[in-house]
Amino acid sequence: MTTAWVRAISAASAGTSAGLVRNLAYGDRRQEQPVTAGAGGRPTCYNSANIGPMTPQGVQGPMTPRGVQGPTTPRGVQELHDSTWESHAAYSLDAAVCCVSAKEPHSLDSRVRHDCGEDAFFIARTRSNFATALGIADGVGQWSAYGVDPAAFSWELMNNCQAVAENGESEPQHILACGFDQLATERQVQCGSSTACVASLDHRSGKLDVANLGDSGALLVGRTRGCVLETTPQQHGFNLPYQFMVAPEGFGDEATDADKYCLMAQDGDILILATDGLFDNMWPGEILCVANSLHDQEPGTIAEALVSTAHKRSHGSQASPFSYACTQNWLHHEGGKPDDITVVVSRIKRSPTSSLPFSTHNEE
């Protein structure tokens, strides 16, 4: 491996100290100059109402995934909903996404569909097996120092995962594996890397599966049970998360390295998927407190509250999970960590017309 690529991959994986300082300083300058599309301090929310048996086309509004509406809608989706979804589905899912970018506004195209900085996401309903899949990815920003757009990698990964889910796959680890395999084998991007977290809800049984690679993650908050699920960050070392990677001479992790979680959801559960911009700036107890205080509000309200709080903390001097991790690794850092922050919030509901019994939480 050449010396140049060793330096590039090391910087992309771990994040150099100089890069962190530049981001901190840049974030402070931009804080008073908000711009549109989620960049520079203004959260942008994308809502999707009633994903599940009551919404045959899935996602509405500006967040519409490729292939869900219009002439590219997969054949049979509408017929599937009309004939079988309502009679078989016991659970539905309402979801919303909110994001804020720490950087300049990003140019949007068919690949980078929303400006979440270097983060990306998807929401998709599978074609034939009564499930909704959701995903989130965090492109590694240090690639930009080498002329690489980190958002291109994270969005291409999520776009591929969405297509895999829409074509019928509902197992999160398989969705990640197929999505990354297509990206890598077809060389859809020349180089880049990203963490990723994908979750899938079976609308018939309430079974929730999660696969997480790296330091993005998921929380499941029960109406009366507190935090039911919290994924564990995967790191090779401090600030060196597991990640998918494509590079001329590189290395990375595989979908089989992702941690898998499985449990049964209950009526009223709140599922939160987020990039490390949330988890580096808010303690799990703080996230839980916000979710509990707004539990009966729309998912978009919860997502916006989490993003706004984390963004404020990222530019503040209050001790944060990131500053604590720095201390544990003999590094000095005060306050939060300015970063892209993307949060997907979903409320799981039992369909009132369903004759299926409630499920109980039972982690396998």
Tens digit of each residue's pLDDT (9 = 90 or more) over 298-356: 999 999 999 999 999 999 999 999 999 999 999 999 989 999 999 999 999 987 654 44
Least confident of 47-51, 101-105, 262-266, 297-301: 47-51
Q: Are the C-beta atoms of 135 and 119 separated by less than 8 Å?
A: no
SS3 7: helix
DSSP state of 238: T
pLDDT digits (tens, 9 = 90+) for 201-218: 999 999 999 999 999 999
DSSP state of 83: I
User: How far apart are alpha carbons 55 and 49 in whole angstroms?
Assistant: 8
* pLDDT for 364 beyond 70: no
Q: What is the pLDDT of residue 142?
A: 82
Percentage above 70 pLDDT, the chain: 72
**Domains in the chain, please, with CATH?**
3-68+75-350 (3.60.40.10)
Q: What is the mean pLDDT of residues 16-36?
A: 27
DSSP state of 84: I
SS3 245: strand
User: How far apart are alpha carbons 306 and 336 in whole angstroms?
Assistant: 15
pLDDT digits (tens, 9 = 90+) for 55-109: 323 333 333 333 322 222 232 333 334 345 555 679 999 999 999 998 877 788 7
Token couple for 166: 């829409």
Q: What is the mean pLDDT of residues 141-159?
A: 90
3-state percent helix, strand, coil for the chain, nearest multiple of 5: 35, 25, 40
Q: What is the pLDDT of residue 176?
A: 98
For residue 354, report the phi and psi dihedrals to the nearest 5 degrees.
-75, 145
Q: What is the mean pLDDT of residues 7-26?
A: 32
Between 352 and 132, residue with greater pLDDT = 132
Q: What is the DSSP string of 185-248?
A: HTTSSSSEEEEEEEEEEETTT-EEEEEEESS-EEEEEETTTEEEEEPPP-EEETTEE--EEE-T
Which position has the token pair 């990723």?
196
Q: Where are the alpha helices (DSSP H) in the chain?
A: 3-14, 17-30, 77-80, 86-88, 150-166, 172-185, 276-279, 284-293, 299-314, 321-328
pTM: 0.78
Return the closest-CA partner of residue 136 out of 40, 272, 23, 42.
272
Burial grade of 153 (CB within 10 A; 0-12, 13-18, 19 or more): buried
Confidence of residue 40 (pLDDT cuts 50, 70, 90): low
Between 76 and 231, residue with greater pLDDT = 231
Q: What is the pLDDT of residue 186?
A: 87
Token couple for 21: 């300082």
Q: Which of 11-20, 45-54, 221-230 has the highest mean pLDDT?
A: 221-230
133 Cβ partners below 8 Å, 6+ apart? 122, 123, 124, 125, 126, 161, 162, 165, 170, 172, 175, 198, 199, 200
Q: What is the mean pLDDT of residues 235-244?
A: 93
* pLDDT for 170 beyond 60: yes
